[in-house]
């Protein structure tokens, strides 16, 4: 039963690591999104102030009609809004990509960890009713543990019925 306890610990450790990694990724992504939004807002404010100052100078000089000034301001505002939308969409795509990368990396690490010990993988597979991973080629040192594990698991399965 020490093997089963060890496996239970490994499963708990893997679950805790996955949860911690996902939480860290979510926090990092939220921070990145907030920073991007703050930077975009600052840029928008600076651009609007500069455009307003330029418009005031041009109108005071009397060289441009008011209609042209309004068109320039509208174009600048539209460009700024498009930049904000692109930044937010890019941040959302970054979130999705980072989460996919985290899930793939964690799944690969867990798979390699479990497959590295066939007896533990067999016990874990039987206990959680997943496909049994068999040792190839058979290891005579691990084989008695595998058969003992299968016997223990089959007893515990019948007690649950």
pLDDT in tens, 30-62: 787 778 778 777 877 887 787 778 777 777 777
pLDDT of 110-133, one tens digit each? 666 666 655 454 455 444 444 344
- Cβ-contact 51, 72 below 8 angstroms: yes
* Assessment of whether the complete model's pTM goes beyond 0.75: no
d(CA 123, CA 129): 10
Report the candidate in 146, 152, 158, 148 with the shortest Cα–Cα distance to residue 122: 146
Report the candidate in 109, 110, 108, 103 with the shortest Cα–Cα distance to residue 25: 103
Give the residue ranges of DSSP H helices in 1-142. Answer: 2-61, 66-115, 118-127
């Amino acid at each position: 039963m020490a093997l089963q306890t060890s496996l239970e610990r490994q499963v708990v450790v893997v679950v805790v690591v996955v949860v911690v990694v996902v939480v860290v990724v979510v926090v990092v992504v939220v921070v990145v999104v907030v920073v991007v939004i703050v930077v975009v807002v600052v840029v928008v404010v600076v651009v609007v102030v500069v455009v307003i100052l330029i418009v005031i100078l041009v109108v005071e000089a009397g060289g441009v009609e008011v209609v042209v000034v309004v068109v320039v301001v509208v174009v600048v505002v539209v460009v700024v809004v498009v930049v904000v939308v692109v930044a937010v969409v890019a941040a959302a795509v970054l979130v999705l990509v980072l989460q996919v990368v985290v899930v793939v990396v964690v799944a690969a690490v867990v798979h390699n960890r479990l497959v590295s010990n066939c007896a533990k993988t067999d016990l874990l597979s039987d206990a959680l009713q997943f496909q049994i991973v068999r040792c190839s080629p058979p290891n005579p040192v691990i084989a008695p543990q595998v058969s003992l594990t299968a016997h223990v698991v089959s007893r515990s399965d019948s007690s649950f019925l």
